[in-house]
Structure 1
Amino acid sequence: MADPDPELMSIGAFARRAGLTASALRFYDDAGLLRPERVDPLSGYRFYSEPQLARALRVRQLREIGMPLPTIGRFFAASAAEAARLIDDQAARVAAEAHSAQQAAAALKASLGESACLTLCVLPGPVLAAAVDQVLAATAHDPEVPVLGGVRLEAGPDAVSLTATDRYRLATRTLVPSRPSAGSWAGTLAGDDLRAAASRLRRSHAVTLDAGEQTLGFRTADGTVIHCRVLTDVFPDHRLLMGSLPAVTHRVTVEAQQLLRALERAPAKLGLRVADGRPSVLLPDAAVDLDGAATGPDLTLWFELTTLYPAVSQALGNDVMLDVRGPDQPATVRSADDGDLTTLVMPCRTPTPDDKD
Structure 2
Amino acid sequence: MPHSDVMPIGLFARRSGLTASALRFYADSGLLRPSETDPVTGYRYYGAAQLTRAITLRRLRELEMPLPAVETVLDSGAEEASRLIDAHVAKVAGDAMAVRHRAGMLKASLDGAPGLPIAVLKGPVLADAVEQILTATTWDPEMPVLGGLRIETGPEAVTLTATDRYRLSTRTLVPAETPPQTWAATVRGDELRAAAAEIRRSASVRIEATPYGVLLRTPGREDQFCGLLSEEFPDYRLMLASLGDVTTRVTVAKGLLLRSLEDHSTDRVALDVTDHRLGVLSTGEGACEASLASTVTGQSLRVWFDLTTLYPAVSTAIGPDVMLDLRGPQRPATVRSAGRGDLTTLAMPVKPDHPAGMPHDKDRLHDHCSHQR
Q: TM-score, normalised by structure 1?
A: 0.85
Structure-1 residue corresponding to 2:105: 107
> What is the percent sequence identity of the aligned residues?
51
Distance (Å, rounded) in 1 between the aligned partners of 2:319 and 2:289: 28
1:308 matched to 2:310? The reply is yes
Q: Retained in 1: the 8 A contact 2:323–2:338?
A: no
Residues in 1 aligned to 2:351 and 2:7: alpha-carbon distance in whole angstroms: 61
Alpha-carbon distance, 1:232 to partner: 1.5
Whole-angstrom CA distance in 2 between matches of 1:46 and 1:111: 58
DSSP-derived class of the 2:136 partner: coil
Q: Distance in 2 between matches of 1:273 and 1:18?
A: 55
Q: Is the 8 A contact 1:250 1:323 kept in 2?
A: yes
Q: Distance in 2 between matches of 1:339 and 1:182?
A: 25
Q: How far is 1:8 from its partner?
A: 4.8
Q: Which residue of 2 aligns with 1:191?
A: 189
Q: Which segment is superposed worse, 332-341 or 167-176? A: 332-341
Structure 1 CA distance for aligned equivalents of residues 350 and 35 of structure 2: 60
2:44 maps to which residue?
47
Alignment of 1:16-35 (within 5 A): 20=18, 24-35=22-33
Matches within 5 A, 1:1-357: 8-9=7-8, 20=18, 24-41=22-39, 45=42, 47-49=44-46, 51=48, 52-115=50-113, 117-268=115-266, 269-276=268-275, 278-282=276-280, 284=287, 287-292=290-295, 294-335=296-337, 340-350=342-352
CA-to-aligned-CA distance 1:20-78 (integer Å, 9 cap, x gap): 556543432233211123345577x3513263455334322211211122221222223
Query: Normalization by structure 2: what TM-score?
Result: 0.82
Contact 2:115 2:215 in 1 (8 A): no
CA spacing shift, 1:244–1:34, aligned 2, 3 Å: same
Contact 1:262 1:281 in 2 (8 A): no
Residues 335 and 347 of structure 2 are in contact (CA less than 8 Å); yes or no, is this contact kept in structure 1?
yes
- Give the distance between the partners of 1:207 and 1:224, measured in 2 at CA: 11
Residues 252/337 of structure 1: CA separation in 2 closer, same or farther (3 Å cut): closer
Q: Match for 2:304: what amino acid?
A: W
Contact 1:258/1:290 (<8 A) preserved: no
Q: Residue type matched to 1:288 in 2?
A: S
Q: Aligned in 2, Cα 1:329/1:39: closer, same or farther, shift over 3 Å?
A: same
Which whole-Å CA distance do the structure 1 matches of 2:115 and 2:338 have between them? 32
Distance 1:116 1:350 in 2: 54
TM-aligned CA distance change 1:163 to 1:40, over 3 Å: same
Deviation at 1:200, TM superposition (A): 0.8
Cα distance in 2 for partners of 1:87, 1:135 equals 32
Is the CA contact 1:207–1:219 (under 8 Å) kept in the aligned structure 2? Answer: yes
Letter in 2 for 1:9: P
Task: For structure 2, list consecutive stretches of 5 or more residues without a partner in the other structure.
Answer: 282-286, 355-373
Taking a change above 3 Å as real, the CA distance of residues 13 and 288 of structure 1, as seen in their structure-2 partners, is: closer
Match of 2:94, SS? helix
Distance in 1, matches of 2:352 and 2:226, equals 42
Cα RMSD after superposing both structures: 2.9
Q: 1:48 & 1:233 partners in 2: Cα distance? A: 55
Paired residue type of 1:346: M
Could you tell me how far apart the structure 1 residues matched to 2:40 and 2:289 are?
Answer: 83
CA distance in 2: counterparts of 1:21 and 1:4, whole angstroms: 21
Q: Structure 1 pair 334/113, CA: closer, same or farther in 2 (3 Å)?
A: farther
- How far apart are the structure 2 equivalents of 1:18 and 1:249? 62
State the 1:204 CA deviation. 0.8
**Alignment length, in residue pairs?**
346
Structure 1 unaligned segments of length 5 or more: list them.
Answer: 353-357
Structure 2: distance between partners of 1:285 and 1:173? 33
Cα contact 1:135–1:171 (8 A) shared by 2: yes
Distance 2:147 2:329 in 1: 28
Q: 1:272 to 1:22 in 2, by over 3 A?
A: closer
Letter paired with 1:302:
W
Say if 1:339 and 1:103 are closer, same or farther in 2 by CA, change over 3 A. Answer: farther
Q: Give CA deviations for 1:66-125 in whole Å, capped at 9, x if unaligned.
A: 112222122222333433333333222221111111111111101113415201111111
Deviation at 1:280, TM superposition (A): 1.8
Q: 1:225 to 1:112 in 2, by over 3 A?
A: same
